[in-house]
Chain A
Amino acid sequence: MAVGKNTATPKPDHTLLLVATRKGAWLYHGDPARATWRADGPHFLGHIVSHVVLDPRDGRTLLAAAKTGHLGPTIFRSTDLGRSWQEAAQPPAFATVAAGGRAVDHSFWLTPGHADEAEVWYAGTSPQGLFRSADGGVTWAPFSSINEDPQYRKWMGTVQDGTPDGPKLHSIIVDPRDAAHLYFAMSGGGVHESTDGGESFAPIVDGLEVVEGFDRKDIAFHDPHCVRLCPSNPDRLYQQNHCGIYRLDRPSRQWLRIGKNMPQQVGDVGFPLVLHPRDADTAWVFPMDATEVWPRTSPDGKPAVYATRDAGATWQRLDAGLPAGEAWWTVKRQAMTADRYDPLGLYFGTTSGELWASRDEGKEWRCIARHLPEIYAVEAAEPA
């Protein structure tokens, strides 16, 4: 099934890796062979950068979600691939209320809007909020009713109900066939869908497990780590959850735990999940140690990517070139990505500040940058 322009195989004349870290952002420009990479950075040295994304609709507008340890959050925007940046005139911010209102701590996730909505962007924040820009990221406004909705606020919980650096709204997905069909996820707070352009959202969590002892009927206890929609089949979604790896084939609302087929000693908990742009049966994950106190390191200190080529029925370990042991890092939910070439390139950034790349869909890995700050996000982009 071919959907939209994103399913075509481009020519790899210029791959751009957008690396967001705890201490700034770096851009890595690849040669046509994806063999050598030129570093451009740091941008915003000292800023906590959660996500840098290139607008695929024009191939030149970059948005970066940033804050510092002292200063409030903002969005920076560049229309010349990072040679110059301008701050958003109105960054994402909750509505001001008389008492007890929330404040955005940081924008965490950026998603370009539908191909037919050239200036639209979405942002997910911590604490959980959904925001939209209709002018290319210059001004932002709360989007839909969820930010102040009492039911959604209950599902979002408090700052103690999220990840160690704050609960997050992430995985904002726009159906390439329909700009009004949206998904997002919250850690914690479940996966949600809108079919009316964000006027309303509803949870879609059937089949998902929650931590033992909690009630899976309570949306607040659901903790999706990363949700992705298949570009080649937008009726299929995959999810890396706090409690396993899942697949959903619409119109069903029942997630299937495909992570049960992972090796038992590795498990099926992690943060990132990457999909093939042209093959809806292929996905990659990066498992982490989720035993006992949740070390969030590579299991047994041996990092590996796992791939499925059959929609989760079987998984293959891909660790050639990666450290054989004593490597106690992991990969965060936005820090693993793919380009769109053939063979496809895979990339991930580690919590220890290393950037790894594969030019053959994960068969062989090599480190292309090290000694960076902790890496929060990696995106592969195609500049115009």
Chain B
Amino acid sequence: MKVLIPSALRSYTESAHAEASGATLAAVVTDLDRQYPGIRFRMIDEQNRIRRHIRFFVNGEQVRELAEPVGAGEELIIVQALSGG
């Protein structure tokens, strides 16, 4: 699936766009980490919780659980939450 990378994480991807595959959001993020080592831990903590200021949107809908299924033809947008004004 297509993945839109926020500016804060482009030091890993060197691009606003990436491709990753997986049947769930967790699998997609794991695939991103395989391609761009370290990127997962900046978004997901060691207890497998999405970090406080990171949001995932699949086809425009916010996904709050890593176990949520995703489709190959869908688009994942990773967003830095609007926090702090």
- A: residues with CB less than 8 A from B are 68-72, 74, 87-89, 91, 93-97, 101-104
Contact = CB atoms under 8 A, between A and B. Distances in A.
A101 B49 CA distance: 10
Nearest to B41: A72
Contact of B46 (A68, A71, A94): A94
Interface string B19-41: 00000000000000000011001
A297 to B, nearest CB: 24
B74 interface: no
A69 B41 contact: no
Given A70-B80, A101-B47, A89 B38 contact: yes
Interface string B31-72: 000000110011111111101011000000000000000000
Nearest to B81: A70
A171 to B, nearest CB: 24
A91 B54 contact: no
Describe A's contact surface by its main secondary structure. loop
B14 to A, nearest CB: 14
B46 A96 contact: yes
The binding surface of chain B is classed by DSSP as: loop
Contacts, number: 53
A103 B46 contact: yes
A102 to B, nearest CB: 7
Contacts of A102: 47
B47 A74 contact: no
A104 B80 CA distance: 19
A70 B47 contact: no
A69 B51 CA distance: 11
24 contacts: A68-B8, A70-B8, A70-B54, A70-B83, A71-B8, A71-B9, A71-B54, A72-B45, A74-B38, A87-B38, A88-B38, A91-B38, A91-B41, A93-B41, A93-B45, A93-B46, A94-B46, A96-B46, A96-B47, A96-B48, A102-B47, A103-B46, A104-B45, A104-B46
B12 to A, nearest CB: 9
B73 interface: no
A103 B42 contact: no
Nearest to A95: B46
Which bucket holds chain B's interface residue count?
20 to 34
Contacts of B81: 70
B78 to A, nearest CB: 10
A96 B46 CA distance: 6
Contacts of A101: 46-47
B84 to A, nearest CB: 6
Contacts of A74: 38, 41-42
A82 to B, nearest CB: 16
Nearest to B84: A69
**Which interface residue of A70, A74, A95 has the most chain B CB atoms within 10 A?**
A70
Contacts of A70: 6, 8, 51, 53-54, 80-81, 83
Contacts of A88: 38
A102 B45 CA distance: 9
B44 to A, nearest CB: 8
A245 to B, nearest CB: 36
Contact of A71 (B49, B51, B83): B51
A185 to B, nearest CB: 24
B47 A103 contact: yes
A106 to B, nearest CB: 12
Contacts of B8: 68, 70-71
Contacts of A71: 8-9, 42-43, 51, 53-54
